[in-house]
Amino acid sequence: MGSNMAECHPVGFQWVMEAKRRGATVIHVDPRYTRTSANASLYVPIRAGTDIAFLGGIVNYILQNGREFREYVTAYTNAATILREDFRDTEDLSGLFSGWDPEQGAYDPASWQYEGMVAKPAVGMREVTVPVGERDGHRGDEPEPEQDPTLEHPRCVFQILKRHFSRYTPEVVEQVCGVPAELFTRVAETLCQNSGRDRTTAFAYALGWTQHSVGVQNIRCAAIIQLLLGNIGRPGGGILALRGHASIQGSTDIPTLFDLLPGYLPMPHAHHHPDLDTYCRMDAPPGGYWGRMREYTVSLLRAYFGDHARADNDWGFGLLPRIDGDHSTYPTVLAMLDGRVKGFFLLGENPAVGSANSRLHRLAMAHLEWLVVRDLVEIESASFWRDAPEIASGELRTKEIPTEVFFLPAAAHAEKDGTFTNTQRLLQWHERAVEPRGDCRSELWFMYHLGRRIREKLAGSSDPRDQAILALTWDYPTRGPYQDPDAEAVLAEINGYGPSGPLSTFTELKDDGTTSCGCWIYCGCFAGGVNQAARKKPGREQSWVAPEWGWAWPANRRILYNRASADPQGRPWSERKRYIWWDATAGRWTGHDVADIKADMAPDYRPGPGARAEMLLRGDEPFVMQADGKAWLFAPAGLRDGPLPVHYEPHESPFDNPLYEQRANPARQRFERSENRTNRDRRRFPYVLTSYRLTEHHTAGGMSRFVPFLAELQPEMFCEVSPQLAAERQLVNGGWAVITTERSAIEARVLVTDRIKPLRVGGRTVHQIGVPWHWGNRGLARGSSANDVFPILLDPNVHIQETKAATCDIRPGRLPGKEA
């Protein structure tokens, strides 16, 4: 669900095809019948933006029919935990949870907490979602939360869950999603039958789940299903995020993201984090591996600032810049439009095509003072000042655009060495085959030499603002004709050093300044001074887990939370699904993978006085990053839009919410302004619009539209419509259509296909239109950018845009000025 794996991850899909041949059932739930659907055992068409209704239906099916994996659920999840008395569910408040503040347009999450203790989230908005004044709790000296192992207590998570999802019946699924109740039930039953001790089920998702105003809750809902069925931490189970770029996982782990420091440490917040102690006290729960947050942070500061990070200067914590709001890419581009952002670096990205409301991005860049674009080819974002559609339309005039543009050609993957972290957290080293030609350089070269030049220009400055940049360790050894910094030296810094050389694993990190580590979860990737990511032992010469190919974070573990593959006593749940287990004789965990629990922590271990971090968790608590060692069916903290998933309609939808009075996610981020209006009039915009990618292209096209063999395979922008919609709007296969929203209008060739099926929703027919978003006005294959017609409208937790479900109108013909 939410993934078109055969098209977007074809080589990964070989394993799905192989599993299917061995008897696995492959179910594809998607608004469009794609190449994945064509190869699935069962295809289920769904209305875009209704995934939670569908998934919630499965949760309800499991709970109403007693199909949960009871022993797993009781032992490993927070099902038994009792919630506070003042918690109110959406059942009670017409689609809102307790704590909603209509003035602020935000939740106060205090009432979502456990009875008797305060739980801190492992990820997410820790500083804003943990109730003020109650940030120190959990384990250690705090009382344990109240539990009811019978799961009968009316305020225990299990009962709350049961009640919350009780209205997600098969009939409601049909009414909301357009999926016939019978077909839905078949899916739910298949999942249940294929889960338990002997069997596991996996969910694969991608942008079809994230690009929604309820993106995070889509995935949360899958997590609830997988936990109820016992499918997490076990082979063949899990929720697999199929990510779209070679190192998009790496760029999240070692984040080029505003709110994170490496290893998912939060970026210091001006309001909450005056010093390191407060930062750690507020954000680090005592229990689990986040209990070592201070070690991770001090080691990072040592990697960044070397001897400028000392005990007497709070380890340089004060040198870090502070955030105080949402500084993600969309608010940033809106600030750019308003002239507040002066300079912009684009490092292998093409927002003029690839970001929602791409037209607004082009307009915003015309307000910049300077722009640096680094790419392989002259992408639309580099040349907007001379050939953007707005230049052609006269909306922008080249001579009036003040932006100074530097286009610097980049090196390709074969021209540099370094690591990509793939979608399964695997670091793989790629070797440089040749040196780049001409002025082409790697980002490593660019950042290093830019930093070197700036530091040279600022050398000797005593201005407070220059202290951090001058304090950076920035002395990498260089190599080759261009003085490239040595990528292995950078990887070794990321891995970290102790007094006796490269560190082996993150539990060696200290908060006394004796260790440095650029990203604690990557600690061990250079263990023994050896580049572990460069290991290439052929797959056929090792076990099916292939632990000696590359290196997976953390600690080369291939399945996270794999302690859950064994029962509380440490025995495999079944022979068929054995993965790791407790070897009582050796006093260690053993099996096919590195155990995701302290290797010698016995299943019957119970924390004693003075225990901290992972030693505060018990030997039968697999979720070692969680404060309570339990997987959270109910999230007492960390989310801005509720502790449980709720079906809300997309911001733009032809329907009211059939389930609640509250129509859309109340916490969604809106940016209504003339350049970013959203559709309100359902009669003007009656159709559902969803965007997607194709096998033949890559994202915004910089790496495919400029490559002849790919460009010819999908040479033009097109839209997919059903024969029924084609008849309704006089659209002709192979002809042209104009798709209109409040943002803009685009044109596309028309593909009329039975693969797009009108759905019956709420007693009437709804048409869906699909638009791939690869094209722009440059390259070999050209066309309108689908993102021009989508709004900036964001999920409140992760600030990702809702481009998988919007509304539009469609008419035959071409844009003005383009008619033949």
In the region spanning residues 229 to 248, those forming contacts with other proteins, defined by CB under 8 A, are 242-248
The residues near 23 (Cβ < 8 Å, ≥ 6 apart) are none
Residue 520 CB, shortest distance to other proteins, in Å, is 13
């022979």: which residue's tokens? 575
Residue 193 CB, shortest distance to other proteins, in Å, is 19
Per CB under 8 A, the list member of 536, 571, 677, 811 interacting with other proteins is 536
Regarding 356 and contact with other proteins (CB under 8 A), the answer is: yes
Regarding 180 and contact with other proteins (CB under 8 A), the answer is: no
Beta bridge partners of 772: 692
Size of the site for other proteins (CB under 8 A): 193
Binding mask 593-632 for other proteins (x = CB under 8 A): ----------------------------------------
Regarding 531 and contact with other proteins (CB under 8 A), the answer is: no
CA 558, CA 552: separation in Å to the nearest integer? 6
- Tell me the window of 130-138, 212-220, 515-523, 684-692 that interacts with other proteins (CB under 8 A): 515-523
Segment 484 to 513, residues that bind other proteins, using CB under 8 A: 485, 487, 490-491, 493-494
Nearer to other proteins, 340 or 680 (CB): 340
Residue 397 CB, shortest distance to other proteins, in Å, is 10
CB 578 within 8 A of CB 571: no
CA 459, CA 456: separation in Å to the nearest integer? 5
Burial environment of residue 97 by CB neighbours within 10 A (0 to 12, 13 to 18, 19 or more): buried
Residue 480 CB, shortest distance to other proteins, in Å, is 12
- Tell me the window of 92-100, 226-234, 377-385, 645-653 that interacts with other proteins (CB under 8 A): 377-385
Residue 637 CB, shortest distance to other proteins, in Å, is 22
Per CB under 8 A, the list member of 180, 318, 658, 686 interacting with other proteins is 318
Kind of pairing between the strands at 343-347 and 484-485? unpaired
Give which of 778, 742, 663 is closest to 377, Cα–Cα.
778
- Tell me the window of 5-13, 66-74, 283-291, 562-570 that interacts with other proteins (CB under 8 A): 5-13
CA 157, CA 495: separation in Å to the nearest integer? 39
DSSP run (H or E) holding 443: helix 443-458
Segment 245 to 304, residues that bind other proteins, using CB under 8 A: 245-258, 261-262, 267, 270-271, 274, 304
Nearer to other proteins, 341 or 745 (CB): 341
* CA end-to-end distance (rounded Å), the chain: 40
Segment 321 to 350, residues that bind other proteins, using CB under 8 A: 321-324, 327-329, 332, 335-336, 340-349
Give which of 705, 713, 729 is closest to 808, Cα–Cα.
729
Residue 372 three-state SS: strand
CA 415, CA 413: separation in Å to the nearest integer? 5
Give which of 160, 165, 196, 137 is closest to 80, Cα–Cα.
160
Residue 587 CB, shortest distance to other proteins, in Å, is 31
Regarding 354 and contact with other proteins (CB under 8 A), the answer is: yes
Nearer to other proteins, 336 or 659 (CB): 336
Phi/psi at 770 (nearest 5 deg)? -105, 135
Nearer to other proteins, 318 or 498 (CB): 318
Kind of pairing between the strands at 745-752 and 239-241? unpaired
CB 664 within 8 A of CB 651: yes
Give which of 716, 710, 781 is closest to 749, Cα–Cα.
716
- Tell me the window of 471-479, 563-571, 673-681, 812-820 that interacts with other proteins (CB under 8 A): 471-479
Q: Which amino acid, residue 36?
A: T
Q: Where are the alpha helices (DSSP H) in 637-776?
A: 708-711, 723-729
Kind of pairing between the strands at 265-266 and 260-261? antiparallel
Binding mask 728-747 for other proteins (x = CB under 8 A): -----xx-------------
Instruction: Locate the DSSP E strands across 584-629.
Output: 588-591
The residues near 643 (Cβ < 8 Å, ≥ 6 apart) are 97, 109, 112, 634, 635, 636
Regarding 433 and contact with other proteins (CB under 8 A), the answer is: yes
Regarding 818 and contact with other proteins (CB under 8 A), the answer is: no
- Tell me the window of 32-40, 117-125, 141-149, 212-220 that interacts with other proteins (CB under 8 A): 32-40
Q: Can you spell out the DSSP letters for 764-790?
A: EEE-EEEEE----SSSSSB---GGGGS
Regarding 223 and contact with other proteins (CB under 8 A), the answer is: no
Residue 410 CB, shortest distance to other proteins, in Å, is 9
Nearer to other proteins, 41 or 150 (CB): 41
Give which of 691, 688, 689, 690 is closest to 774, Cα–Cα.
691
- Tell me the window of 48-56, 215-223, 415-423, 581-589 that interacts with other proteins (CB under 8 A): 415-423
Residue 609 CB, shortest distance to other proteins, in Å, is 38
Nearer to other proteins, 285 or 591 (CB): 591
Regarding 423 and contact with other proteins (CB under 8 A), the answer is: yes
Segment 380 to 409, residues that bind other proteins, using CB under 8 A: 382, 385-386, 398-409
Per CB under 8 A, the list member of 190, 504, 569, 699 interacting with other proteins is 699
Per CB under 8 A, the list member of 146, 314, 435, 728 interacting with other proteins is 435
Residue 541 CB, shortest distance to other proteins, in Å, is 8
Output b/e per residue, 510-522; b: 16+ Cβ within 10 A: bbeeebbbbbbbb
Q: Can you spell out the DSSP letters for 137-162?
A: -SSTTSPPPPB-TTS-STTBHHHHHH
Regarding 804 and contact with other proteins (CB under 8 A), the answer is: no
CA 115, CA 352: separation in Å to the nearest integer? 49
Packing angle, helices 293-305 and 276-283, rounded to 10: 140
Alpha-carbon distance values, 620 to 70, 296, 381, 807 (Å): 15, 25, 52, 48
Residue 355 CB, shortest distance to other proteins, in Å, is 6
Nearer to other proteins, 117 or 388 (CB): 388
Nearer to other proteins, 386 or 680 (CB): 386
Regarding 441 and contact with other proteins (CB under 8 A), the answer is: yes
């009780």: which residue's tokens? 166
Residue 817 CB, shortest distance to other proteins, in Å, is 20
Residue 730 CB, shortest distance to other proteins, in Å, is 16
Residue 296 CB, shortest distance to other proteins, in Å, is 15
CA 207, CA 244: separation in Å to the nearest integer? 9
- Tell me the window of 213-221, 423-431, 609-617, 810-818 that interacts with other proteins (CB under 8 A): 423-431
Regarding 377 and contact with other proteins (CB under 8 A), the answer is: yes
Nearer to other proteins, 442 or 657 (CB): 442
Segment 547 to 576, residues that bind other proteins, using CB under 8 A: 549-550
Regarding 202 and contact with other proteins (CB under 8 A), the answer is: no
Alpha-carbon distance values, 256 to 319, 367, 747 (Å): 18, 23, 34
Nearer to other proteins, 142 or 415 (CB): 415
CA 803, CA 190: separation in Å to the nearest integer? 30
Regarding 415 and contact with other proteins (CB under 8 A), the answer is: yes
Nearer to other proteins, 243 or 630 (CB): 243
Residue 685 CB, shortest distance to other proteins, in Å, is 23
CA 43, CA 179: separation in Å to the nearest integer? 11
